[in-house]
Structure 1
């Protein structure tokens, strides 16, 4: 049985929202009422697999976003390949 280590502040973390959206962001803060994410991105299906798009188009994507804990169904550490794609998309740094 595979048991993954829990996520930590400063890591890329995935959220499944009550609305059904799945987002990835760098976790800046967590408490019982909310999460603060840096540069959250939403997962989108593309012809060649999964892609990432800005979580909100009407605001600067570089900011920090407060996500209410009541709107989150599930939270987990982001899978390694998606985490690398997120880092490359948000920073321009390609990880091997």
Structure 2
């Protein structure tokens, strides 16, 4: 269950992170705008997603054994690693069609 919650939080946090890193002033403003608070709130949200992801990866019992281990971090890293490998090996990019 925690792997699903981590994945959902990361999917919410990635657009915020991309907006902080690459497109700060280039996007048109919509009907709801945070104004000067958008950058601090986006930063706080990204920090929360990272913090929450780390907390959900911590095992719930101590000492940790193989059957009490929280395998969420291993599964998420494995799926992300396989996805990146699959993307580099098989992604061809957009296909152009020429209609005459």
If the TM-score is normalised by the length of the shorter chain, which range does it land in?
under 0.3
Q: Which gives a bigger RCO, structure 1 or 2 (Cα 8 Å, sep 6+)? A: 2
The structure whose Rg is larger is 2
If each structure's helix is expressed as a fraction of its own residues, which one has the higher value? 2
Between Structure 1 and Structure 2, the one with more strand by share is 1
Query: TM-score, structure 2 length as denominator?
Result: 0.23
